């Protein structure tokens, strides 16, 4: 038997076996995603902006308050925290699944914070909102800032919670970005990424809350399975890949923010360094207020909900004073 024949004798079965394994992984990912959606169907309403279907929830009545979630999460992150129940007593609370998360679509595009902001501005216009206080958490703070910069007539005040505002070297960006790569990333998120993410997710959630424990309500009620769908893995990967580059541009405009800004963070945040991020932003915005909560981590709206509600009330009070 020639060397070529010998090579062919094992190579063809190996390739066929690999293809079968990848096919099985893809079927598994699709099956798991469908199962997650059956167990956790949409909880809100839908609207379409520039051809993008967005899922949103409204609670309460009063002055509009818009909540923008971070990377990897969705509307339920705010609902499960309990702050919506409290804020809805005084505000018309609007939460929109960012493109690619929850049940909002994410067409192929460069989804920078400014692209998000443009979409949100039009969505709020459809909802009849002409002015609002805007709260962003984590990656959502970038969208909130971009919205305030692009639509100053819309945003009355900002609440920025556990944000990332200045470019730094981050290991998680390298670790979680590959599924964003066209073609290769598409193959990953339908094969190995859901499996790996399922294994990593408990540790990632623990780190988000550390040094505090993960609240029992979050563990029980948050639809973690929806985070592992291929569509949401792509959104998370793209946001992770863009995190550092977009702050390079946005940081040049922070001083253009001419509105009340309240910054809130956990002092022991292990995801976004408080000194290099929130404290620095507070220094760059001399008129801002800074609420730092000792012993708390990144998920500040779960760990210190009363402080986040207080931050919203401060921003609203200052916005009213500025308009008077």
Is the predicted pLDDT of residue 95 greater than 70, yes or no? yes
pLDDT digit string (tens) for 209-238?
999 999 999 999 999 999 888 888 889 989
**Ordered strands of the 132-137 beta sheet:** 45-49, 52-59, 91-96, 63-68, 132-137, 155-161, 261-266, 289-293
In this prediction, residue 172 carries a pLDDT of 59
Q: Which domains does the chain have, with CATH numbers?
A: 54-168+242-323 (3.40.50.1820)
* Cis preceding-peptide flag for 126 (omega within 30 of 0): no
DSSP β-bridge partners for residue 48: 53
> Taking 60 as the threshold, does the pLDDT of residue 310 lie above it?
yes
The span from the CA of 229 to the CA of 282, in Å, is: 37
Q: Above 70 in pLDDT, residue 3?
A: no
Average pLDDT of the residues in 2-18: 49
Alpha helices, H only, 64-103: 75-81, 83-87
pTM assigned to the model: 0.87
Which whole number is the average pLDDT over 138-165?
98
Interval 32-85: pLDDT, tens: 778 878 999 999 999 999 999 999 999 999 999 999 999 999 999 999 999 999
Mean pLDDT of 242-252: 94
Q: For the chain, what is the mean pLDDT?
A: 88
SS (H, E, C) 182-201: CCHHHHHHCCHHHHHHHHHH
Instruction: Of 102-111, 167-176, 185-194, 313-322, give the lowest mean pLDDT range.
Output: 185-194
Structure tokens at 259: 């509105």
What is residue 156's DSSP assignment? E
pLDDT value of position 168 = 86
CB burial of residue 37 (10 Å; 0-12, 13-18, 19+): middle
Spell out the long-range contacts of 277-280 with Cβ–Cβ below 8 A and sequence spacing 24 or more. Answer: 277/163, 277/164, 277/165, 277/166, 278/160, 278/162, 278/163, 278/165, 280/165, 280/166
Tokens representing 305? 């909900």
More confident residue, 187 or 130: 130
Task: Round to whole Å and give the CA distance between 290 and 47.
Answer: 35
Token pair 């409290």 is at which residue?
86
pLDDT in the model for residue 231: 87
Q: Over the stretch 232-246, which tens digit does the pLDDT of each residue have? A: 888 998 999 898 999
If you ran DSSP here, which 8-state letter would residue 34 be given? H
The b-or-e profile of 131-168 (16+ CB within 10 A means b, else e) is ebbbbbbbbbbbbbbbbbbbbeebbbbbbbbbbbbbee
Distance CA 318, CA 308 (A): 15
What's the confidence (pLDDT) of residue 186? 58
């Amino acid at each position: 038997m020639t060397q070529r024949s010998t090579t062919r004798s094992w190579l063809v079965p190996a390739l066929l076996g690999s293809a079968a394994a990848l096919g099985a992984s893809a079927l598994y990912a699709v099956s798991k995603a469908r199962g997650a959606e059956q167990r956790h169907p949409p909880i809100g309403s839908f609207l379409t902006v520039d051809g993008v279907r967005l899922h949103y929830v409204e609670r309460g009545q009063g002055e509009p308050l818009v909540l923008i979630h971070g990377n990897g999460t969705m509307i339920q992150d705010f609902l499960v925290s309990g702050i919506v129940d409290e804020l809805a007593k005084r505000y018309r609370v609007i939460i929109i699944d960012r493109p690619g998360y929850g049940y909002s679509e994410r067409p192929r595009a460069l989804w920078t914070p400014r692209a998000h902001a443009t979409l949100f501005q039009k969505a709020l216009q459809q909802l009849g909102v002409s002015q609002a206080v805007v709260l962003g958490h984590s990656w959502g703070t970038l969208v909130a800032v971009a919205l305030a910069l692009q639509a100053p007539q819309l945003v009355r005040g900002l609440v920025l919670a556990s944000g990332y505002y200045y470019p730094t070297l981050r290991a998680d960006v390298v670790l979680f970005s590959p599924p964003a790569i066209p073609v290769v990333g598409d193959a990953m998120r339908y094969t190995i990424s859901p499996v790996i993410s399922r294994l990593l997710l408990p540790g990632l959630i623990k780190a988000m809350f550390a040094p505090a424990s993960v609240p029992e309500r979050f563990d029980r009620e948050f639809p973690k399975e929806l985070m592992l769908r291929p569509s949401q893995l792509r959104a998370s990967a793209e946001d992770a890949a863009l995190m550092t580059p977009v702050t390079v541009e946005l940081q040049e405009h922070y001083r253009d923010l001419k509105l009340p800004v309240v910054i809130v963070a956990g002092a022991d945040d292990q995801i976004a360094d408080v000194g290099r991020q929130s404290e620095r932003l507070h220094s760059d915005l001399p008129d801002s207020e800074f609420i730092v909560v000792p012993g708390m981590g990144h998920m500040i709206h779960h760990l210190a909900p009363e402080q986040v509600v207080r931050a919203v009330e401060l921003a609203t009070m200052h916005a009213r004073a500025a308009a008077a």
